[in-house]
């Protein structure tokens, strides 16, 4: 099958590599443009989106990432990764840039102010077999969603999972639960695109 990369600059890289392997995918950690060129899909992990943004620029991989996404490479972002795939962030830190690609505005740390971390069952469109356990850690929510993107899941009246073409994003962290259905969905998107 196709090789799926995990952007390995900061965040829970190992957990995504394990979840992808659990879903039957071949994987590669990606830090440099050469590694990005070797994958057919990419996961952007949870972590700290400001750090991921700055490291991506420092490693010279931010522009190549934007180009691959523009060219249709499937990408999946969880939490900080969701922020990286948003066309627009509310209240970004200064110098914080995204890869973009999904026609949505996300609010960073949106759930985090009242409640740093929580879990909730979330029904995700296109994922069979019942709700997934949503692990929310200083999670963003989707403040508004454009006409080209589709919400796949809501929690507390907010969209927390979005798909637009080959791009997928969740505000929560399926890589921390041992449930590989979201990674299997993404691996299927990569297979379909390859
Ligand atoms: N709050 C983090 C950010 O803004 C995201 C947290 C996470 O990925 N668990 O990047």
pLDDT at position 18 is: 98
Q: Give tens-digit pLDDT for 174-185.
A: 999 999 999 999
Mutation pick for ligand 1 pocket among 86, 109, 170, 176 (CB with most ligand atoms within 8 Å): 109
* ipTM confidence: 0.95
Among 17-31, 45-59, 101-115, name the one with the lowest average pLDDT: 101-115
- Ligand 1 binding residues, C-beta < 6 A: 46-49, 79-80, 83, 108-109, 137-138
Nearest atom (ligand 1) to Cα of 78: 8
Backbone angles phi, psi at 119, to 5 degrees: -120, 145
**CA-based torsion, 101, 109, 14, 19: positive or negative:** negative
What residues act catalytically? 79, 173, 175
Q: Give tens-digit pLDDT for 145-159.
A: 999 999 999 999 999
Contact 85, 101 (CB under 8 A): yes
Task: Tell me which fold the domain 3-193 belongs to.
Answer: Rossmann fold (3.40.50)
Nearest atom (ligand 1) to Cα of 108: 4
């Amino acid at each position: 099958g196709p090789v799926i990369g995990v952007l390995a600059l900061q965040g829970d890289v190992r957990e995504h590599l394990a979840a992808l392997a659990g879903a039957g995918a071949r994987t590669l950690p990606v830090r440099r443009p050469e590694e990005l060129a070797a994958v057919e899909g990419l996961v952007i992990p949870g972590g700290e989106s400001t750090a991921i943004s700055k490291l991506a620029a420092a490693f010279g991989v931010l522009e190549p990432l934007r180009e691959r996404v523009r060219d249709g490479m499937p990408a999946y972002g969880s939490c900080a990764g969701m922020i990286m795939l948003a066309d627009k962030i509310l209240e970004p830190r200064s110098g914080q840039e995204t890869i973009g690609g999904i026609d949505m505005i996300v609010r960073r740390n949106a759930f985090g102010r009242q409640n740093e971390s929580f879990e909730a069952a979330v029904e995700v469109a296109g994922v069979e077999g019942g709700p997934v356990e949503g692990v929310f850690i200083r999670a963003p929510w989707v403040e508004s969603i454009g006409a080209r993107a589709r919400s796949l899941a809501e929690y507390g009246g907010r969209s927390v999972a979005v798909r637009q073409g080959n791009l997928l994003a969740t505000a929560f962290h399926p890589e921390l639960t041992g449930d590989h259905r979201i990674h299997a969905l993404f691996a299927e998107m990569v297979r379909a695109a390859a």
